[in-house]
Chain A
Amino acid sequence: DAKTTQPPSMDCAEGRAANLPCNHSTISGNEYVYWYRQIHSQGPQYIIHGLKNNETNEMASLIITEDRKSSTLILPHATLRDTAVYYCIVRVNDMRFGAGTRLTVKP
């Protein structure tokens, strides 16, 4: 399975867009990119996933580069409740979580 690389931590001002990068340079053609987040002491929460095209839902947008070697999760208007650890995962059959990015949204 492909590995992912994410920055260990990021800060974002409340109300601004949070852009969380993920590198997955060894991704194969049939592997999807998934994003989850985990708020302290809770189970992870699904955010969004995509294969090739950019995706958007009520929570976030996912931008995948044309070569599929990296992606960016965008939270358009971050709130304090978005403070969490964000995991980028590439998946075919099972999910392998890395260390994720700890996003802190500041007032």
Chain B
Amino acid sequence: KAGVTQTPRYLIKTRGQQVTLSCSPISGHRSVSWYQQTPGQGLQFLFEYFSETQRNKGNFPGRFSGRQFSNSRSEMNVSTLELGDSALYLCASSWAGGNEQFFGPGTRLTVL
């Protein structure tokens, strides 16, 4: 069974731009969660989607948004990029959100 895939793996943007990251969960998984990882703040929860609905949200500004499609694939968008948004963005999927999560390799975003 294929694992969680994330595209792109690496991305370079400049301040003020916007970016969209994609996550394809493991087949059959309906929950997708997003995390931001930085050296200073560690792993921080962004949001979770289940059956196309945002079920939980972390403490991030409204510039961070996401969505989930009917096939459970998910995208997250960051608008008006800031230097501090440079991070590894991780996506994780699970059957229903309440059990073990399987993480993808992440997308490393660099904002210049």
Contacts and interface: CB of A to CB of B under 8 A. Distances in A.
B55 A93 contact: yes
Contact of A97 (B43, B100, B102, B106): B43
Which interface class (under 10, 10 to 19, 20 to 34, 35 or more) fits B?
20 to 34
Interface residues of A, number: 17
Contacts of A99: 42
Contact of A94 (B42, B45, B104): B45
A9 to B, nearest CB: 14
Question: At the interface, is chain A mostly helix, strand, loop or mixed?
Answer: loop
Contacts of A42: 105
Nearest to B59: A96
State the main secondary structure of chain B at its contact with A: strand
A91 to B, nearest CB: 8
Contacts of A96: 45
B58 A97 contact: no
Contact of A43 (B42, B90, B99, B100): B90
Interface of B: 4, 33, 35, 42-45, 48, 55-56, 58, 90, 92, 97-106
